[in-house]
Amino acid sequence: MKLLSELHLQNNALMGIYNDKCVPSSYHDIFEEYKAVRENALLVDYSHMSITSVMGDDAWALVNYMASADVSIIRDEQGIYSLVLNVDGTIRGEVYILCAEEGYYILSEDMTSQEIIKILNEVLLKAEELDIQDIPEIKSMDGEDWGVVMLEGPYAWEIMAEAYGFDIIGLPYYEYMNTDDGLMVFRCGKHGEFAYQLIGSQAVLVTMWMRLQEIGSKYLLKTGGLDYQGLVRIENPGWDESLYSSYSRNPVELQMQWAIQYDKEDFIGKSAVEALSLKSAERKLVGIIPDEGCGHIDSDDLVMVNGHQVGVIVNAVYSPAKQNWIALALIDECYALADITGFSIVTTNGEFAAKTQSIPFIYNRSLLINPTTHSYVDASKAKSALETY
């Protein structure tokens, strides 16, 4: 078996289209997969991520101009998260950029390799201005049958250590290691948990998928699809086109300025996003939680103060961790502060008092786990800081 999709179909996964790729939406009930990622470990096919290779002596100048982050700060086997902006300063998409010996790999959940390549070719029109003398070799890794598998959860590190050795435990965030089986193991994650992406040949990933399932059985590992992200990306917010694009792509409104390196010499959309930042935003994204008794919240529900609309719900879910509905709202700038009472949310079931809250909404279990002192399977060790011996 050479393709992950063959494995998923054989195991009756529910498939869906994400970023123009067919990958699992789910293997189990969404709350089973949610429980696994928050308490144990979840194994997910992340091959919806496009992978674009940019190799050559002048690859840095090309990739750095595309990215809002400063690519110059990373070295071989390091990565960085970045936005890719439109020329008007709004968010076009997001990428991870991994530095390799000969250049870079660009990974994206919301832009295909074809779109990435198109952007890079547009940047090459400024080759003389950017002092790009040797045109880098740009190619999609789709032609090499590459894919990505993600292992995520409070005990993902322990499963990975069994698979690849204890060096995994010391792998810093946003760094990767090359493995003997030809994969790159990249420590990353957007949902507040330990997370590792395995990147490379799908034939090897199929073998590792089955191997991780075997190791993970004693950790109560579950296989999953991408639908669980609809829960965890509200609890731990970050850019997700499916959540925000119909409401805003403004990085100032969405509180995403941390991903923009304003003191870089230049990048796509720099002057426009600087203007957006100086102008400030008329509204900003904040978390909001209703009082008990609220049975449902929908996108487009209104946020009110003393009978006047001050915002709109962007997205909402029932959070098992909070045992309550939680929501992200775009609220007028003067009201967009955390831990403020006096709001109400108008829903189809009535109007409910609400309070803004800082995000993320939850304190992740992974923050209570130290790989050097805790273990899920070693009975001589506590499982987390919540347990004492």
Task: Give the model confidence (pLDDT) of 272-329 as tens digits.
Answer: 999 999 998 999 999 999 988 888 999 999 999 999 999 999 999 999 999 999 999 9
Quick one: pLDDT at residue 1? 58
Q: What percent of the chain has pLDDT over 90?
A: 96
- Reply yes or no on whether the pLDDT at 111 is more than 70: yes
- Reply yes or no on whether the pLDDT at 389 is more than 70: no
Task: Give the model confidence (pLDDT) of 179-195 as tens digits.
Answer: 999 999 999 999 999 99
Average pLDDT over residues 99-103: 96
Q: Per-residue confidence at 386, pLDDT binned at 50, 70, 90?
A: confident
Q: Give the closest residue to 332 by CA, choosing from 359, 306, 353.
A: 306
User: What is the rounded CA–CA span in Å between residue 98 and residue 106?
Assistant: 6
Task: State the amino acid at position 93 in one-letter form.
Answer: G
Average pLDDT over residues 358-385: 94
Quick one: pLDDT at residue 275? 97
Q: Per-residue confidence at 387, pLDDT binned at 50, 70, 90?
A: confident
The helix (run of H) or strand (run of E) holding residue 140 is strand 137-140
- Reply yes or no on whether the pLDDT at 376 is more than 80: yes
Mean confidence (pLDDT) of the chain: 96
Average pLDDT over residues 14-28: 97
User: What is the rounded CA–CA span in Å between residue 216 and residue 232?
Assistant: 21
CATH 3.10.620.30 fits 285-358, yes or no: no
CA dihedral 129, 131, 136, 142 (to 10 degrees): -40
Quick one: pLDDT at residue 388? 66
Report residue 300 as tokens.
Answer: 């487009």
Task: State the amino acid at position 19 in one-letter form.
Answer: N
Domain extents in the chain: 1-281, 285-358
The pairing of strands 42-45 and 222-224 is parallel
Report residue 317 as tokens.
Answer: 């879910």
Q: Per-residue confidence at 245, pLDDT binned at 50, 70, 90?
A: confident
The CA-atom distances, in angstroms, between 109 and each of 187, 202, 271, 305 are 16, 17, 26, 37
Average pLDDT over residues 327-343: 96
- Reply yes or no on whether the pLDDT at 357 is more than 70: yes
pTM as predicted: 0.95
User: What is the rounded CA–CA span in Å between residue 300 and residue 343?
Assistant: 16
- Reply yes or no on whether the pLDDT at 143 is more than 70: yes
- Reply yes or no on whether the pLDDT at 87 is more than 70: yes
The residues with which 150 forms a beta bridge, in sequence order, are: 44, 197
Q: What percent of the chain has pLDDT over 70?
A: 99
- Reply yes or no on whether the pLDDT at 60 is more than 90: yes
Q: DSSP character for 100?
A: -
Please identify, in words, the CATH class of the domain defined by 1-281: alpha beta
CB atoms within 10 A of CB 171: 18
At 196, phi and psi to the nearest 5? Answer: -135, 130
Task: Give the model confidence (pLDDT) of 212-234 as tens digits.
Answer: 999 999 999 999 999 999 999 99
Q: Give the closest residue to 37 by CA, choosing from 205, 258, 189, 214.
A: 189
Q: Which residues of 357-366 are buried (b: 16+ CB within 10 A; e: fewer)?
A: bebbbbebbb
CB-based contacts of 339-342 (< 8 A; 24+ apart in sequence): 342/305, 342/306
- Reply yes or no on whether the pLDDT at 10 is more than 80: yes
